[in-house]
């Protein structure tokens, strides 16, 4: 009985017979296998188009095939339609219409990534991690993200009712919101005593310039009494790379800010700071949490590695990949992951995130322990971090830090509504010879 030889072996045998290099034969065999798979795809496409229980148009089938291919790569590669392009432009330009919510889908449910500061959603009290189940009483479970966003957007001044399920809360919550023109203000600032607080909520086209203006305004307001800056990057989902570089550059005199490394060893780009440091070398504390991602992690990592700032809060999200926008036509494009980010010391941000120098929980959030924490490492098909030999594993001893033994009620009684921010401000006040943090230690503990 004659057995059929494997295709690759047959190709290699034929290559030897005619003097073709074996490597070329194997490559040709792989190419033939690719063609067979493409033939199978065309066959499935035709069968579905002709025999599916309901009529379906070619555009829907082809877009589904493209989306499926990109979804098999990583969570951040995607195909952009004309509608997607318009949404991306509105967010990077800093203005769009709606409720001020960034949402995603998780197992068919619409999940809140973050509400934007000073928008209808933020003012109503909607939180990151909430699940939106109904819009105006209609169930939206199983809807696509585009369908959900379209229904939440509308003419400014009109209202919409959201039903929300919040982890840790037994009954659904209902919010009636009035739509507005959302003008993203990526940077806000205030003086807390002699400390300048700069809140950066996103990295759109205005962020770099707005950060420089905030530094200048605080310097003019406080003058010689200015003790330092708190740069608040909590729940900042990221944005434009060039704006992250501009923000880090405002606080640095020199040195590398970030590098991005692609598929080959030769594809490395490095970005450097240029003099001057606009803060005049004053102390800096950077606040981060699990929602600090991408561009926010670039800034935190750059200031931490250069020993320019103390990073305080919780470990960041861990999105350390670079997406390149590749135009496919006048209206469509491909957002493709093409590289990884690295901090100046060579640490990969991907999956691992940025570990704070001082781990500080948000004690004024009474539900912090019940709220699920989602990071890049939890996403399906995320890129695996490239770890170096000197990566360290830090073990926690499980002991409660005396400084963090407060309850939310105890802090509220002391007038503290944001423990992490208050802690950061007190660090700078202490460096400047001001209030000692020991004054807040709970008695008898």
What residues act catalytically?
A: 294, 305, 319
Contact criterion met (CB below 8 Å) for 336 and 326: yes
Q: What values do phi and psi take at 210, rounded to 5?
A: -65, -35
Q: Are strands 228-232 and 195-200 parallel, antiparallel or unpaired?
A: parallel
Q: What is d(CA 80, CA 88) in angstroms, rounded to the nearest whole number?
A: 9
β pairing state of 187-192 and 256-261:
unpaired
The dihedral built from the CA positions of residue 93, 94, 98 and 100, taken in this order, carries a sign that is positive
Residue 241: name the closest of 323, 184, 316, 338 by CA. 323
Residue 367 CB-half CA count within 13 A: 12
DSSP assignment of 391-409 equals --PPPP--PPPGGG---HH
Which contiguous run of DSSP H or E holds residue 135? Answer: strand 131-135
- Calculated CA dihedral for residues 399, 287, 336, 87, nearest 10 degrees: 130
Residue 63 near residue 79 (C-beta atoms within 8 A): yes
CA distance 245 to 286: 15
> Can you give the length of the chain in residues?
445
Using CA atoms, how far apart are residues 249 and 256, in angstroms rounded to an integer?
9
| DSSP-derived 3-state class of residue 116 | coil
Query: In whole angstroms, what is the distance from residue 175 CA to residue 179 CA?
Result: 12
Instruction: Verify cis geometry, omega within 30 degrees of 0, for the bond prior to 28.
Output: no
- First and final C-alpha spacing in the chain: 84
Sequence-separated (6 or more) residues with CB below 8 Å from residue 92? 204, 205, 239, 240
Catalogue the E-assigned strands of 254-300: 256-261, 268-272, 284-288
């Amino acid at each position: 009985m004659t057995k059929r030889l494997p295709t690759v072996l047959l190709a290699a045998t034929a290559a030897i017979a005619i003097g073709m290099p074996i490597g070329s034969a194997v490559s040709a065999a792989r190419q033939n296998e690719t063609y067979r798979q493409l033939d199978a795809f065309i066959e499935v496409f035709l069968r579905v188009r002709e025999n599916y229980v309901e009529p379906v148009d070619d555009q829907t089938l082809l877009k589904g095939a493209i989306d499926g291919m990109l979804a098999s790569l990583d969570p951040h590669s995607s195909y952009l339609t004309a509608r997607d392009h318009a949404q991306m432009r509105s967010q990077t330009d800093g203005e769009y219409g709606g409720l001020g919510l960034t949402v995603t889908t998780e197992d068919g449910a619409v999940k809140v990534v973050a509400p934007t500061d000073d928008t209808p959603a933020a003012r109503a009290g909607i939180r990151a991690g909430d699940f939106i189940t109904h819009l105006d009483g209609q169930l939206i479970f199983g809807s696509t993200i585009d369908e959900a966003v379209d229904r939440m957007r509308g003419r400014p001044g009109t209202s919409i009712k959201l039903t929300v399920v919040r982890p840790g809360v037994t009954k659904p919550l209902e919010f009636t919101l009035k739509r507005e023109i959302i003008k993203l203000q990526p940077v806000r600032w205030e003086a807390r005593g002699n400390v300048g607080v700069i809140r950066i909520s996103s990295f759109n086209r205005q962020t770099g310039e707005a950060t420089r203006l905030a530094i200048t305004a605080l310097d003019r307001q406080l003058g010689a009494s200015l003790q330092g800056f708190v740069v608040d990057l909590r729940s900042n989902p990221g944005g434009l790379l060039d704006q992250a570089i501009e923000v880090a550059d405002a606080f640095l005199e020199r040195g590398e800010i970030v590098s991005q490394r692609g598929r080959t060893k030769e594809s490395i780009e490095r970005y450097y700071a240029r003099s001057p440091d606009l803060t005049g070398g004053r102390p800096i504390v950077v606040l981060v949490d699990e929602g600090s991602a991408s561009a926010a992690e670039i800034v935190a990592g750059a200031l931490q590695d250069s020993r320019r700032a103390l990073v305080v809060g919780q470990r960041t999200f861990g999105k350390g990949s670079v997406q390149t926008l590749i135009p496919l036509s006048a209206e469509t494009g491909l957002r493709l992951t093409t590289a990884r980010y690295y901090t100046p010391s060579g640490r990969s941000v991907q999956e691992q995130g940025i570990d704070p120098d001082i781990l500080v929980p948000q004690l004024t959030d009474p539900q912090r322990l019940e709220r699920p924490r989602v990071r890049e490492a939890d996403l399906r098909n995320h890129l695996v971090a490239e770890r170096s030999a000197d990566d360290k594993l830090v073990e926690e001893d499980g002991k409660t830090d005396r400084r963090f033994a407060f309850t939310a009620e105890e802090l509220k009684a002391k007038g503290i509504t944001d423990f992490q921010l208050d802690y950061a401000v007190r660090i700078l006040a202490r460096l400047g010879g001001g209030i000692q943090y020991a004054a807040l230690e709970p008695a008898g503990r």
